[in-house]
Amino acid sequence: DSPVTLKILQNWVPRVSHYFDKEHYTYVGHQIVIQESIEHFGAVVWPGALALSQYLESNQEQFNLKDKKVLEIGAGTGLVSIVACILGAYVTATDLPEVLENLSYNISRNTQNMNMHKPEVRKLVWGEGLNEDFPVSTYHYDFILATDVVYHHAALDPLLATMVYFCKPGTVLLWANKFRFSTDYEFLEKLCNIFNTTILAEFPESNVKLLKA
């Protein structure tokens, strides 16, 4: 199948208004309010999160998350995890310790009082303590979600090792990323050498590619 190009993405525009540090989005018929933090890269809504949220909403038959076990790595503000929750998944949202407070706040406020599986928020440092914190015998995920986890940083090898660790037979990795640097393409090449990788969609306006592995 050839990649699908999605040209007009209404969901990319906040539906209500910008507050000082909150943005309003609408996905799957739910208004989602996200609090950002300027203190951490992980606490800002990046283009990849918008792309994957929009894609999951629009392709529910292809990727049915209902009652599936979903792990988001580098969850940031939690937008993608919240959308996966609304779509009926058992969600575990993970990130670095310094991001968890804001992540937990966003997920809690947007999923409370809803008839859905209660999401979990956990610390995950890429490449560290994986078998201790997420032993293979206990944890198996149907989907691994990742958005804008690849940028100009030194943790790309631990990130790839983390993806490999969690991707067992039958697991689907959905990774959306804005491609900015040569290192982004180098990471993609490494990913393709390990996984059966397909480009699901491209978003030319923001240089975002959405890949399935």
Q: Comparing 16-30, 45-59, 97-111, which segment has the lowest mean pLDDT?
A: 16-30
What pLDDT shows up at residue 133? 96
What pLDDT shows up at residue 159? 97
- Architecture (CATH level 2) of domain 4-212: 3-Layer(aba) Sandwich (3.40)
Task: Kindly report the pTM of this predicted structure.
Answer: 0.88
Number of Cβ atoms within 10 Å of the Cβ of 20: 6
Q: Which amino acid is at 149?
A: V
Tell me the C-alpha distance between 193 and 188, whole Å: 9
Q: What is the mean pLDDT of residues 89-107?
A: 95
Domain locations in the chain? 4-212
| pLDDT tens, position by position, 115-162 | 889 999 999 999 999 999 999 999 999 999 999 999 877 899 999 999
Distances (CA, A) of 59 to 48, 105, 108, 200: 16, 28, 25, 11
State yes or no: pLDDT of 8 exceeds 50: no
What pLDDT shows up at residue 4? 52
Encode burial over 170-196: b for 16+ CB neighbours within 10 A, e otherwise. Answer: ebebbbbbbbeeeebeebbeebeeebe
